[in-house]
Amino acid sequence: MARIIAISSGKGGVGKTTTTINLAAALTEFKYAVIIVDANMTTSNISLHLGLHFKPITLNDVFEKNAKLIDAIYQHENGFKVIPADISIRKTPNPNTHEYIDLLYDLSAHADFVLVDTPAGLGKETLSIIEAVDELITVTNPELAAITDAMKLSVHASKLETHNLGVVINRVRNVSHELPASHIERMLDLPILGIIPEDREVGRAIAHKKPVVSFSPNSLAAQHFKAVAARLIGEQYTPKTGLRQKILNWFRS
Ligand SMILES: Nc1ncnc2c1ncn2[C@@H]1O[C@H](COP(=O)(O)OP(=O)(O)OP(=O)(O)O)[C@@H](O)[C@H]1O
Ligand SMILES: [Mg+2]
């Protein structure tokens, strides 16, 4: 049975979709079978990040009972599978926790990991998913607004008895006004699963509709996403963030 993990944040735009896609790519490189579920049915992004936006059957169709789950699962060239959500403006289904549990249970026999990308905010749409999954990865940025929302997410997760695995601090620039990781760790009272630097390669990878882990495997972001994936499976992976890579990154930024 798969580990079923939601990737969530509270605040929008902090990097949930980027983290979901790149953990999927990295776990696939570690030889695990992964299915991504784009549960952001209102403002879906996964299919745009991965070039799957022309796929005819989506999670929306499955919840509207217009299609079978199996027909909404697409193989990505990186080896993982994806259930995209609809990017058009149409009425969004509003599944409850039990409908999510049924869906995720059906998927869990077909993968080692089911990674569920969640919408921004902490409304019913997000909380139904948090309740339905077993585990949660919190994504945040090193700024107070994002961390405040991550704290609220944490409170909800503990009420809903979902195991909060820890926090991924994304878009770290190491500038003086950022909150340091040690403060974030204390404020959230969560282990830090990884610190992902701000990296121009992330935007380039999205423009090419690929995970940065495969598009630019030596980039700092790719290396740090791989380290988070390794941590999830109890493997050791030390990012190769030597001077050469740092200089390259500096020139790119
Ligand atoms: N480490 C990074 N370095 C540089 N840019 C990044 C990084 N992570 C994410 N981004 C950029 O931030 C933007 C938002 O990322 P993403 O779509 O993953 O956030 P999100 O939390 O899923 O947003 P939403 O709440 O709207 O679903 C993207 O355009 C992406 O290019
Ligand atoms: Mg997103």
Residue in 127, 83, 81, 76 with CA at minimum distance from that of residue 103: 83
Q: Looking only at Cα atoms, what is the longest distance across the chain?
A: 53
Q: Is the pLDDT of residue 127 over 90?
A: yes
pLDDT for 89 equals 79
Which of 125, 202, 209, 223 for a ligand 1 pocket mutation test, highest count of atoms within 8 Å of Cβ? 202
3-state secondary structure of 240: coil
Q: Is the pLDDT of residue 180 over 90?
A: yes
pLDDT for 252 equals 59
**What does pLDDT average to over the chain?**
94
Domain tally, the chain: 1
Tens of pLDDT along 194-215? 999 999 999 999 999 999 999 9
Tens of pLDDT along 77-89? 999 999 999 988 7
Q: Which atom of ligand 1 is nearest to the CA of 9?
A: 21
pLDDT for 55 equals 84
pLDDT > 90: percent of the chain: 85
Ligand 1 centroid distance, CA of 203 (Å): 8
pLDDT > 70: percent of the chain: 95
Residue 224, ligand 1, Cβ within 6 A? no
The protein residue whose alpha carbon is closest to atom 6 in ligand 1 is: 202
Q: Which domain holds residue 248?
A: 3-252
Tens of pLDDT along 87-122? 887 778 899 999 999 999 999 999 999 999 999 999
pLDDT for 36 equals 98
5 and 133 in contact (C-beta within 8 Å)? yes
Least confident residue range of 11-20, 50-59, 169-178, 220-229: 50-59
Ligand 2 centroid distance, CA of 134 (Å): 20
In eight-state DSSP terms, residue 173 is: -
pLDDT for 87 equals 86
- In whole angstroms, what separates CA 171 from the centre of its chain? 14
pLDDT for 242 equals 66
CATH number at residue 218: 3.40.50.300
% helix, strand, coil for the chain, step of 5: 45, 15, 40
Q: pLDDT band for position 223 (50/70/90)?
A: very high
pLDDT for 250 equals 65
